[in-house]
Amino acid sequence: EVQLVESGGGLVKPGRSLRLSCTASGFTFGDYAMSWFRQAPGKGLEWVGFIRSKAYGGTTEYAASVKGRFTISRDDSKSIAYLQMNSLKTEDTAVYYCTREWFPVGYFDYWGQGTLVTVSS
C-alpha cells in the first residue's frame, strides 16, 4: 500500500526556516517525481514545486511565489522528500501536502495527510 507521511510542521516566526519531510512507502520511491502542494486556511490548492527522479536528472521546479526561498530535495536511500522553507512569511501559513507525481504529465495519484505550517509572530 502506497503511503506518504508528512512531518515537520509547526509554529514558526516570520523570517525563520522550517524543513518538512515526506516519508514514502509501498512503492519504489526513486522511480517517481515528488511534488509539494499547500493549502492556506479556507483557500484552494497551490502547487509549490517538484523534484524529478534521478532518471530525469533529479532537478527541481518551483512556483514563482516560493522560488528562491523554498528548496525541494530527496534522499532515495531513505525514501524521503524534503521541503526546506526559508525566509518564511505569514502568507506561507498553510497545510502542506506531498504527493507522488506521474512525470512528466503532472498527475498526482497519492497524497499525504498534510502537515500544518503556521507562520506568526
Interface with other proteins (CB under 8 A): 35, 44-47, 50, 61, 63, 97, 102, 104-109, 111-114
**Are 92 and 117 spatial neighbours (Cβ–Cβ below 8 Å)?**
yes
* Nearest distance in Å: CB 11, other proteins: 20
Min dist CB 120 to other proteins, Å, is: 21
Which C-beta is closer to other proteins: that of 41 or that of 77?
41
What is d(CA 103, CA 113) in angstroms, rounded to the nearest whole number? 21
If the CB atoms of residues 17 and 55 are measured against other proteins, the closer one turns out to be 55
Q: Which C-beta is closer to other proteins: that of 46 or that of 76?
A: 46
At closest approach, how far in Å is the CB of 69 from other proteins? 17
Least distance CB 30 / other proteins (angstroms): 21
Q: Which helix (H) or strand (E) holds 119?
A: strand 115-119
State which residue, 44 or 77, has the beta carbon closest to other proteins: 44
Burial category of 110 from C-beta neighbours within 10 Å (exposed 0-12, middle 13-18, buried 19 and up):
middle
DSSP secondary structure string for all residues of 62-100: E-TTTBTTEEEEEETTTTEEEEEE-S--GGG-EEEEEEE
